[in-house]
Amino acid sequence: MNVQSTPLEGCFVLEPRVFGDSRGYFFESFNQQKFTELTGHNIPFVQDNQSFSTKGVLRGMHLQKGASAQSKLVRVVKGEVLDVAVDVRKTSKTFRQHFSIRLSDQNNLQLFVPRGFLHGFVVLSDEAIFQYKCDNYYDKSAEAGAHYADPELAIDWILPHDQLIVSDKDIILPKISEAGDYGF
């Protein structure tokens, strides 16, 4: 496994070592010992989630607040997405900055998103299966977020806005400047 830093403090791209032959391929998608050794973070992941979406579906920008805050390790099992993380930690040098990366079943890259980050993705392929590990359990009462099209964030979602499919819940998320304190 290779770990690359991103411009956002504490956010990493992980690239597994893929072994391929005439039968297909094999790679270790997660190894706690290697993850801790290479990132310096001993994160006890407790929940795995998976979603299926079609082209243009945008899920974000979300986070969990307070005692329910979550770090995530995200990857794509099928298809391709543009994955985005936004640092909302007030004391961070990269406060309110974002990082985006294409994750796909072809590049097998993963993104580690620490606590204190908004997270979201948009599906670029016809279909996508998205998986992520969390270090804390989901808590509906701790949900928070920011509007995906907030001009202050200036995220380029690649697809035209009229091609995005966004949930009613995400459409009404506030701008980041109106969201209040995320608690980080």
**For every residue of 23-86, which 3-state class applies, written as one string?**
CEEECCCCCHHHHHHHHCCCCCCCEEEEEEEECCEEEEEEEECHHHCCCEEEEEEECEEEEEEE
Of 98, 132, 148, 182, the catalytic one is 132
Half-sphere exposure of 79 (CA within 13 A, CB side): 21
User: Is 147 in the active site?
Assistant: no
Helix (H/G/I), strand (E/B), else coil: 8? coil
Of 62, 98, 119, 147, the catalytic one is 62
User: Is 41 in the active site?
Assistant: no
Just list the catalytic residues: 62, 132
